[in-house]
Amino acid sequence: MTTIFGIDPGVSGGIAIIDDYLRAAHPMPIIKSGSATFIDGGAIRKLIMGYKDSMVFLERAQAMPKQGVVSMFNYGVNFGFLKGMLDTLQRPVELVRPADWHRDVCKGYPGNKPKEKALAACISLFPDVELKATPRSRKPHDGMVDALLIAEYGRRRLGGSK
């Protein structure tokens, strides 16, 4: 099976891996410099380069309601950085609209809000994956949940079995 990466590109996003032996999710690796926060490209490169036969499903950047101009700009910069890095690493990338992966993977799961449905789907599909960013975290990390579901969407698109 091809190793599938799912990436939620925000600094509060995540990166997930699915293959025959591994199902894992990590918070987006970041570097803080003063008041600025950047994606740690070196950490992502090291993770992805560890897998020869891989496919990346990257959530497409788009404007979000009630999101400020600065945060939307930063999200777009992170998306462009990741897309450029993946192209440089010569990894095949499929851009995925949030509505597409959510409709496919979260269909039929309980919840009134998209995040509730996503968490319910993720817990059902990946019961053994730790969804908290750190041992001290109290609740599941939204970026890790989304990244796992993006990877699951990719697995389904490639015709893989669980």
Domains and CATH numbers, the chain: 3-157 (3.30.420.10)
Contact in structure between 14 and 28 (CB atoms under 8 Å): yes
What integer best gives the mean pLDDT of the chain? Answer: 89
Residue 161 pLDDT exceeds 70: no
Q: Which of 29-33, 74-78, 156-160 has the highest mean pLDDT?
A: 29-33
CA distance 129 to 115: 17
Residues 74/11, Cβ–Cβ less than 8 Å: yes
Question: Which has more confidence, 68 or 112?
Answer: 112
Nearest-angstrom CA–CA distance, 67 and 88: 30
Cα dihedral: 93, 97, 101, 104 (round 10):
-120
Alpha carbon 23 to chain centroid distance? 13
Distances (CA, A) of 144 to 67, 88, 131: 20, 24, 6
Amino acid (1-letter code) at residue 115: K
What pLDDT, in 10s, does the model give residues 15-67? 999 988 888 999 999 998 888 888 999 999 999 998 888 999 999 866 666 66
Give residue 80's pLDDT: 87
